[in-house]
Structure 1
Amino acid sequence: MAYEIQTAAAKYETIARFPDYAEAQAVVDTLSDREFDVSTVKIVGEGLRSEEYVTGRLTKGRAALAGLGSGAWLGLFIGILFGLFAPAFGWLSIILWSVVIGAVWGVIFGFVAHLATGGKRDFKSVRTTAADTYLVQVRAERAHEAITVLNR
């Protein structure tokens, strides 16, 4: 006979329901401010959906410019890492050259990546997950206490 550890899933009770996340977060924050053990609390989104907000048109120039920025940041990071181990007199030039080289490669990769889409994605967007309702749930053994704390 094989033995294994089995943990029972904690039972939760819903103490509040809200149409947006900010209200659910405010309840948890109130519980925390009133020194309730919030490690027994969770926020559950129901009716999940993916939303994509289009933020603008993406041209080859804008793709290259975005690549320049991200390449420069990556170059700065790499330059700092190499600069840490460089002689005291050469660290600044290492960082500057790393930023320049990173920016150039970023422009190239940004331009080519956009070109590779063949015009099928000529826009910028931000993707997010949203819910229809947000439940504030507390472990069953602490739910009554949480309601009492909120009603104070």
Structure 2
Amino acid sequence: MTSPFQSGQAPDPLGAAAAGRRDVARLPTPPKGWPIGAYPTYAEAQRAVDYLSDQQFPVHQVTIVGVDLMQVERVTGRLTWPKVLGGGVLTGAWLGLFIGLVLGIFSENPAQALVTGLIAGVFFGLITSSVPYAMARGTRDFSSTMQLVAGRYDVLCDPQSAEQGRDLLAKLTL
């Protein structure tokens, strides 16, 4: 049995199919560069890069890096049966309306297709919202959104321009 690669060589992570392509997607790599600024929010880091751009700095050499990443779940409200069922009805009605409109284009009676789609959508919306909520049995009676945020945002720059970038950002904070 022969090996797909010679001894001492790693296999091609992109596969042989990508061998002839010029626009091959690269694997993620850690950012490179020297830190020229650190900011508590992304908006402030963005403002710093915008300032560098306004000063004719070569911003293509700059990278904003989120450090100390956290997954944050923000609770948006309490779930109750009326909210769950109401959301299911509305979601199902929109989907049913869309399906009814599409079917109405090809139907001899578009109004009937629209009403049928709407009723079926409401029915399936009720089912798909109430069954998971009932199965949770009160273990998760709230709605929320998830975000990935950083504890701080570093602005990195290529070494050849880092000193100039740092000097410009020092003027911004004065």
When normalised by structure 1's length, the TM-score is 0.71
SS in 1 for 2:38: strand
Q: Deviations over 1:25-53 (max 9, x none)?
A: 22234445666665543221111112112
The verdict on how the C-alpha distance between 1:103 and 1:139 changes in structure 2, with shifts beyond 3 A counting, is: farther
Q: Which residue of 1 aligns with 2:138?
A: 119
Question: How many pairs does the alignment contain?
Answer: 150
Query: Which structure has the larger Rg?
Result: 2
Once structures 1 and 2 are overlaid, which stretch shifts more, 137-146 or 21-30? 137-146
Could you tell me which residue of structure 2 aligns to residue 98 of structure 1? 117
Distance of aligned partners of 1:28 and 1:106 in 2 relative to their CA distance in 1, 3 Å threshold = farther
Distance in 2 separating the partners of 1:23 and 1:74: 41
Deviation at 1:90, TM superposition (A): 5.1
- Aligned partner of 2:148 among 129, 134, 144: 129
Give the whole-Å Cα distance in 1 for the aligned partners of 2:97 and 2:156. Answer: 44
Residue matched to 1:86: 106
Contact 2:37/2:166 (8 A) holds in 1: no
Contact preservation (8 Å) 1:64, 1:109: no
Which digits, 9 at most, give the CA deviation of each residue in 1:6-26, with x for residues without a partner?
Answer: x99773222221001111122
Change (3 A) 1:100 1:145: farther
CA distance in 1, matches of 2:43, 2:109: 50
Please tell me the residue identity of whatever aligns with 1:62.
Answer: K
Counterpart residue number, 1:56: 77
Query: Identity over the aligned pairs, expressed in percent?
Result: 35
Q: What residue identity is the alignment partner of 2:62?
A: V
Aligned partners of 1:122 and 1:131: how far apart in 2?
28
Displacement after TM superposition at 1:111 (Å)? 1.2
| Deviation for aligned residue 1:116 | 0.8
Is the 2:31–2:65 Cα contact (8 Å) retained in structure 1?
no
Unaligned runs of 5+ in 1: none
